[in-house]
Amino acid sequence: MKTNPKFEIRSPKQIRRTETASPKLALVRRAADGTPTVRSFGFRILNLFRVSDFGIRACLLALALALLLGGCVSGPSKLEICPGKATAKEALKTLAARAEAAVPLRSNGQAMVTYHVPDKKKAERHNLPLVLLFEPPGDIYIQGAIAVDPKAVIVGANEQQFWMVLSPKEMSAYYIGQWDEVRDFEGLMMSPRVVLEALGIVAEPNDESNTALWTLENKGPYDILTRRDEAGRLVQRVYIYACDYAVQKIEYFDAHGKTIAVAQLGDYESVVEEFRVPTKIHVVSTSPDGREDTMEISLRGVKTTKFSDRQRQFLFAPPNSRTFENIYRYLAGRWVPE
């Protein structure tokens, strides 16, 4: 198998933490009318997505090493170019086969979240230890810790619903939506959709119902899949390295065709044959005021696992909302308070 291209993604240790008076995450902002709106990050990728990546950047590590040695830098080596797929249908079929090979897994990791709060010029930064659990085809559970609260942030999804909860110790907020209400990107800090796509679930096995909405372009070392909705509006673009068909970048677009989130993936590891996952996920999302928020996820110890029926019922179902002060539902493309 050919070597997968790697993207330079900063380690959380390379990012200086900003001291704040409180460890709480300010993930919700308010519009002019006072309506709460969710801070958008990630996989606005991980676009947990993929799920995704391109626009290759120069290797800063190689540059730094060359400077230390006093030598000259010639730039990153070119990626090998392999023949791409002939049609969008063939490309989606290959991705669907990868998704069909997916197995249940668990992983630990870290997420460095950098985001802007309204009326503040300086960005906030938080480093969250993570636990990620996944069961195909679309069940996911992400648990993020803040300070002494191991479940400060919980993100989850199953085939029908997705949710994010911020514990009462932090913000006491509960967000839940139905997948059939989502047209493009739902705007959660840790997007379940992005994480799923980052794990390779871009095209579902045996689902050809939306094949006509995709087009394929072969450009350099990449196959580029572009999806538009029924009205012809640009929704999503997926970059795939043609030599090993690993998704490298995913771009998400708003109703006006502007990029609202980009997820880059790298450092793929094999879990089982034909199923690999990226251990580096870098997501950049653009807020309505034009400022960029980022999330950098590093996974470690990715391994297969098994879930009991009791664990499935607990992990992959929305938690009880009764203990939360603020509850929001995703309706017609907006988060509506109850």
**Reported pTM:** 0.73
| Dist CA 28 CA 315 (whole Å) | 24
Digit-coded pLDDT (tens) for 117-128? 666 778 878 888
Digit-coded pLDDT (tens) for 292-310? 888 899 999 999 999 999 9
Digit-coded pLDDT (tens) for 246-286? 999 999 888 888 888 899 999 999 999 888 999 999 988 88
CA neighbor of 153 nearest in space, from 104, 119, 183, 195: 195
Whole-number mean pLDDT of the chain? 75
Is it the case that residue 244 has pLDDT exceeding 90?
yes
**Binning pLDDT at 50, 70 and 90, where does residue 1 land?**
very low
Provide mean pLDDT across the span 70-82: 62
Q: Which residues, 6+ apart, have CB-to-CB distance to 84 below 8 Å?
A: 91, 216, 218, 222, 223, 242
**Binning pLDDT at 50, 70 and 90, where does residue 104 land?**
very high
Q: What percent of the chain has pLDDT over 70?
A: 70
> How do the domains of the chain map onto residue ranges?
38-318+325-332
Beta bridge partners of 130: 109, 144
Predicted pLDDT of residue 274: 83
Task: Of 178-182, 185-189, 230-234, give the lowest mean pLDDT range.
Answer: 185-189
Q: Select the CATH number that applies to the domain covering 38-318+325-332 from these four: 2.50.20.10, 3.30.300.30, 2.60.40.1180, 1.10.3720.10.
A: 2.50.20.10
Digit-coded pLDDT (tens) for 29-69? 444 444 444 444 333 323 333 333 333 333 323 323 232 33
| Dist CA 246 CA 82 (whole Å) | 13
The phi, psi pair for 243, rounded to 5°, reads -70, -35
Q: Tokens in use for 72?
A: 């000259």
**Binning pLDDT at 50, 70 and 90, where does residue 227 land?**
very high
Q: Which residue has the higher pLDDT, 158 or 286?
A: 158
Provide mean pLDDT across the span 107-130: 84
Task: Of 199-203, 231-235, 326-330, give the lowest mean pLDDT range.
Answer: 199-203
Buried/exposed 40-59: b ≥16 CB within 10 Å, e otherwise:
bbbbbbbbbbbbbbbebeeb
